[in-house]
A and B are shown apart, each in its own frame.
Chain A
Amino acid sequence: MTNAEYSRQSFWRQYIFSVDHKVIGLQYGLTALSFLLLGFMLMVLMRWQLAFPGEVIPWLTFVVIFILLGLAIVFLAGKKRPYLALNSLIFFGIAALIWYFTTGEERLPGGIMLPEFYNQLGTMHGTIMVFLGVVPLAVGAFGNYILPLQIGAPDMAFPRMNMVSYWVYFIGGVLMIISFFLPGGAAQSGWTSYSPLADINTGQTMWLVAMLFVIISSLLGAINFIVTTVQLRVEGMTWFRLPFFVWTQLITAFLLLLAFPSLQIGAIMQLLDRVAGSSFFIPAGIIQGGKVLEYSGGGNPLLWQHLFWFLAHPEVYVLILPAIGIITEVVTNNTRKPLWGYPAMVYSLFFIGFMSFLVYAHHMFITGMGTAVTTWFQTTTLIISIPSIIFLAVIVFTLWGGSIRFTTPMLFALAWVPMFGIGGLTGLPLGLAPPDIHLHDTYYVIGHFHYIVAPGSIIAFFAGIYYWFPKICGKKLNDNLGKVHFWGTIIGMNLTFAPMLVQGMAGVSRRLYDGGLGYDHAQPVLFLNEWMTWGAWIIGIFQIFFILNIVLTLRKKSRSEENPWDATTLEWATTSPPIAHGNFITEPFVYHGPYEYNVSVNGQNVPYLPQHKKMDIED
């Protein structure tokens, strides 16, 4: 199909049911960012309850802020950019949802939160953030948009399957939101949905159905990414000339492909327990409210935990590996040096991908698996920390002696290094069974994995958005607004997550509705609840700078250069944004590795050598 033919396609084919990986990537990105915002709002409601238990939540303030944001976008978009103005619907939608929560007697009557609703918010926060926010952003958005460009491919290997996988994910997300409106509300058994509680709690059925959609979507996506990477590399793009981001996406796709089926089986079994009366996860004689439930029994509640964590531990690496890929791209570009240990990074990646299937039961130390099993899993868990440390070390060594450009994406990337370090190191006590018995199910666990996912993954995604925005829109985001966004986010995140570690070590349990108010041992650390709540507000307020930055940049008339960062990888070998179908005007040929910065050619220093430029590098 030529470009002329392409632009004659109908509006629906071009923008809604598009098979172009760039449009699908943007669809994924916009949807995932909206879910991140929604998941964040659910958490802010919870945090208010934790800091001020039983007091009225300022829900009207939230509603007003979101309506104002929506109106600001409509105003800034102006009449000329109706599609940009449409994005305000996301903000109006969230405002409407918060308003809806305060109606009815079972959620937030008069702005005071009920315990059942707190459980719903907690469950949905986790589910939305992990399955509908971070993974689709990491894989669906960044992977879809950047990966084919970086390997010089005209599109993904199966463009129509790519479209289907987005829409299946979208349906899953919509079903997840709809569950708030059903009688009994949304799922309330935690994002881990442990049986037998999840077998009998209300709201779980819709969660399971929505999850089946999300699982099918990621299966289709994973196949597509692997085939694209292996089959569509352009000529000259040998394995060890792949940008490291492509490697991370490839391994991530394998994790999704091989880990998700076990949750699929688990979800089907839990669904059958709920709708067909089977007892896969229900032991005999289970009692609810003083009444013996009518189940045949004979099931095994721990089986659910095995099926769940066999997915959910590799899932953790799905959250973090693409983030490491983005950080690698940004760091090498802004230190103007080759990546210090590219082969070490690749081999570590293979090792971490393989090992991630062998560590999952460290989530289950207190289930009484027995010392032999426990010893095995704590050993593998400590072994898997080695490749993570290699990643960090390689990035630090890459910084060594470089002339660092402190651009906005680089600020995020630099902050990522210590933040991911804290996240990783706080994980070690959890990987060893004896300290884990004390720390299990406390706020320490929450603090640990939020350091991995929020200042870890999400910070990396911000770096990626600032870095690739000129590629996607042809315009550079404002540096000053970006820096304000950066400092506010990083300070807010630390204010939110560091106190969790302190509270957790004091023994405050993670699923308390009153934030520990009713417990003696929680009293000395209770004041931290307020800090964390203000931390969350700081994060939220500084995201306004990010949103405004995007809208204001899209309004700008002047375009940035084609390759504003002087980068070497193939996505900069085409126009910004790339041409609609086919990506490259002439198919590139690759002559070099991905990070040839400041190399010498014919006795002269070349500041950066794009992969598709033919020159002989001297050692």
Chain B
Amino acid sequence: MEIPFTVSERPDTGLTNPKFGIWLFLASEVMLFGSLFSSYIILRTGSLDWPVQSDELNITIGAVNTAILIASSLTMVLSWTALKEKQFKRFKLFIGLTILFAVLFLVLKIWLEYIPKIHHGHILSTNTFFAMYYLMTGLHALHILGGVVVMIFFWGPGSKMWQTNPDQFVNRIEVVGLYWHFVDLVWIFLFPTLYLL
């Protein structure tokens, strides 16, 4: 017994099961971050003493991190197209670069932002702005971390599937890519909301 349409597309819907599944998951994620952004708006508009955000946060690091994530989105696509063209080594290179960028993002986030702020005594209980800042960026960082774990798997042991079932492996990388672009997109909204506005 095989579950149909795990690798090939169903003709009338034009989708494979995993691709449809990840889109539904992303729909749910839109509601998750949507609730978060709505909460942010309600708390900020209701606040009497919301700090000037750009004074509290380091715009330079935020901007560098934005560039890093956009670059990682590019390398993610390149790794997938490399697989489509059956260039396995190129795939390894580009997904490796994506992992590198993602880790770099987390390192900058934690070492240059979270830790100095905590040293200055700016934590969740300081005020609602910092609580919201840690919650929103923290949840996003967890998503990045999840992506890193999955990508390392497909860079390392998971890539053996390329030998046994290349079609399914390409699909898997596409699904990871969709997730990764979504996580990057969330940051594109988070950066101006928290650092610039």
**What is the chain A residue whose CB lies nearest that of B16?**
A231
Q: Is B1 a contact of A223 with CB atoms below 8 Å?
A: no
Per the bound structure, the CA–CA distance linking A224 and B25 in Å amounts to 10
Question: Which residues of chain A are near B42, meaning CB under 8 Å?
Answer: 300, 303, 306
Q: A272 on the interface (CB 8 Å rule)?
A: yes
- Residue from the list A157, A265, A276, A307 in contact with B125, Cβ < 8 A: A276
Cα A368 to Cα B13 in complex, Å, equals: 47
Q: Is the CB of B131 within 8 A of A223?
A: no
- Stretch binding the partner chain, chosen from B32-40, B66-74, B85-93: B32-40
Q: Look across to chain A and name the residue whose beta carbon is closest to the beta carbon of B128.
A: A298
Q: Residues of B within 8 Å of A, CB-based: how many?
A: 39
Contact (Cβ within 8 A) A307 B35: yes
Q: Which residue of B lies closest to A257 (CB)?
A: B28
B20 touches A230 (CB 8 A): yes
Q: Mark B9-47, 1 if CB is under 8 A from A, else 0.
A: 010010101001100110111011011100100110011
Nearest B residue (CB) for A302: B42
Tell me if A1 is interfacial: C-beta within 8 Å of chain B: yes
| Contact assessment for B124 and A223 in the assembled complex, using a CB-CB cutoff below 8 Å | no
In the complex, whether A247 has a CB less than 8 A from a CB of chain B is no
Q: Mark B113-129, 1 if CB is under 8 A from A, else 0.
A: 00000000001111110
Known: A230-B13, A300-B46. A279 touches B25 (CB 8 A): no
Looking at B3, B15, B127, the one whose CB has the most chain A CB atoms below 10 A away is B3
Cβ-based interface call for A95 (8 A): no
The distance from the CB of A155 to the nearest CB of chain B, in whole angstroms, is 6
Q: Which of A276-317 contact B (CB under 8 A)?
A: 276-280, 295-300, 303, 306-307, 310
A582 within 8 A of partner (CB): yes
User: Are A295 and B127 touching (Cβ within 8 A)?
Assistant: no
Give CA–CA (A262, B39) in the complex, Å.
Answer: 10
Name A303-342 residues within 8 Å CB distance of B.
303, 306-307, 310
Contact B28 A278 (CB under 8 A): no
Docked complex: A540-581 residues within 8 A CB-CB of B: 581
* Pair A276/B124 contact, Cβ less than 8 Å: yes
Q: Is there contact, CB below 8 Å, between A231 and B13?
A: yes
Residues B131 and A280 in contact, CB atoms below 8 Å apart: yes
A204 at the interface (CB under 8 A from B): no
Question: What chain A residues lie within 8 Å of B123 (beta carbons)?
Answer: 276-277
Give bound CA distance, A395 to B125, whole Å: 55
Given known contacts A261-B31, A303-B39, A223 and B24 CB-to-CB distance under 8 angstroms: yes
- Interface set, chain B 160-180, CB cutoff 8 A to A: none
The verdict on B153 contacting chain A, using a C-beta distance below 8 Å, is no
A381 at the B interface (CB under 8 A)? no
- Docked Cα-Cα span, A383 to B10, in Å, equals 37
Residues on the B chain within 8 Å of A157, using CB = 3, 6, 17, 21
Q: In the complex where A231-B17, A257-B24 touch, is A296 in contact with B126 (Cβ < 8 A)? A: yes
Give the nearest-CB partner of A580 in chain B.
Answer: B1
B125, closest chain A residue (CB) = A277
Q: Determine which residue in A227, A269, A277 has the highest number of CB atoms from chain B within 10 A of its CB, and name it.
A: A227
Whether the Cβ atoms of B3 and A155 lie closer than 8 Å is yes
A158 at the A/B interface (Cβ < 8 Å)?
yes
Q: Is the CB of B35 within 8 A of A227?
A: no
A232 touches B5 (CB 8 A): yes
How far apart are the CA atoms of A269 and B42 in the complex, in Å? 14
A230 and B29 CA atoms in complex are apart in Å by: 20
Minimal beta-carbon separation of A225 from chain B (angstroms): 10
Q: Quick check: B36 and A226 within 8 Å, CB to CB? A: no
Chain A residues within an 8 Å CB radius of B125: 276-279, 295-296
Tell me the nearest residue of chain A to B17, going by C-beta: A157
Contact A154 B2 (CB under 8 A): yes
By DSSP majority rule, is chain A's interface helix, strand, loop, or mixed? helix
Cβ of B55 under 8 Å from chain A: no
Chain B hits for A278, CB < 8 A: 124-125, 128, 131, 135
Interface string of A177-199 (1 = CB under 8 A from B): 00000000000000000000000
Contacting pair A158 B17 (CB below 8 A): yes
Residues of the A chain whose Cβ atoms lie less than 8 Å from the Cβ of B21: 157-158, 223-224, 227
User: Complex formed: what's the CA distance from A269 to B128 in Å?
Assistant: 11
* Interface residue A252 (Cβ < 8 Å from any Cβ of B): no
Minimum Cβ distance to chain B for residue A557 (Å): 30
**Contacting pair A279 B131 (CB below 8 A):** yes
A159 interface residue per 8 A CB criterion? yes
Is B4 at the interface (CB under 8 A from chain A)?
yes
CB of A264 within 8 Å of the partner chain: yes
Taking CB atoms, residues of chain B closer than 8 Å to A227 are 17, 20-21, 24
Q: How far is the CB of B37 from chain A (nearest CB, A)?
A: 10
Complex interface: chain B residues within 8 A of A272 (CB):
124, 131, 135
Are A581 and B1 in touch, CB under 8 angstroms?
A: yes
Q: Could you say which of A155, A159, A223, A265 contacts B32, with CB atoms under 8 Å apart? A: A265
Q: Tell me, rounded to whole Å, the shortest Cβ–Cβ distance linking A298 to chain B.
A: 4
Determine whether the beta carbon of B124 is less than 8 Å from that of A307: no
- Please, how many angstroms separate the alpha-carbon atoms of A298 and B49 in the complex? 8
Q: Which of B2, B6, B32, B127 contacts A261 (CB 8 A)?
A: B32
Q: Are B1 and A155 in contact (CB under 8 A)?
A: yes
Assuming the contacts A231-B5, A231-B20, asked whether A258 and B47 have C-beta atoms less than 8 A apart, the reply is no
Give residues of chain A (215-230) contacting chain B, Cβ–Cβ below 8 Å: 219, 222-224, 226-227, 230
A233-276 CB mask vs B (1 if < 8 Å, else 0) is: 00000000000000000000000011111101110110010001
A266-B15 Cα distance, complex, nearest whole Å: 33
Which residues of B sit under 8 angstroms from A279, Cβ to Cβ? 125, 127-128, 131
A 45-61 to B, binary, CB cutoff 8 A, 1 in contact else 0: 00000000000000000
Closest CB-CB distance, A189 to chain B, in whole Å? 20
> Which A55-98 residues sit within 8 Å CB-CB of chain B?
none
Interface residues of A (CB under 8 A from B): 1-2, 154-155, 157-159, 219, 222-224, 226-227, 230-232, 257-262, 264-266, 268-269, 272, 276-280, 295-300, 303, 306-307, 310, 581-582
A-B complex: 6 closest residue pairs judged by Cβ atoms: A277-B125, A582-B1, A278-B131, A261-B32, A261-B31, A278-B124
B-side residues, CB < 8 A to A, are: 1-6, 10, 13, 15, 17, 20-21, 24-25, 27-29, 31-32, 34-36, 39, 42-43, 46-49, 123-128, 131-132, 135, 139
9 A-B pairs (CB sep. < 8 Å): A157-B21, A159-B3, A223-B28, A230-B15, A259-B31, A261-B35, A262-B35, A277-B124, A581-B1
Given contacts A264-B32, A272-B124, 13 further A-B contacts (CB under 8 A): A158-B21, A232-B5, A258-B27, A259-B31, A260-B28, A261-B32, A268-B139, A272-B131, A280-B128, A296-B128, A298-B127, A298-B128, A582-B1
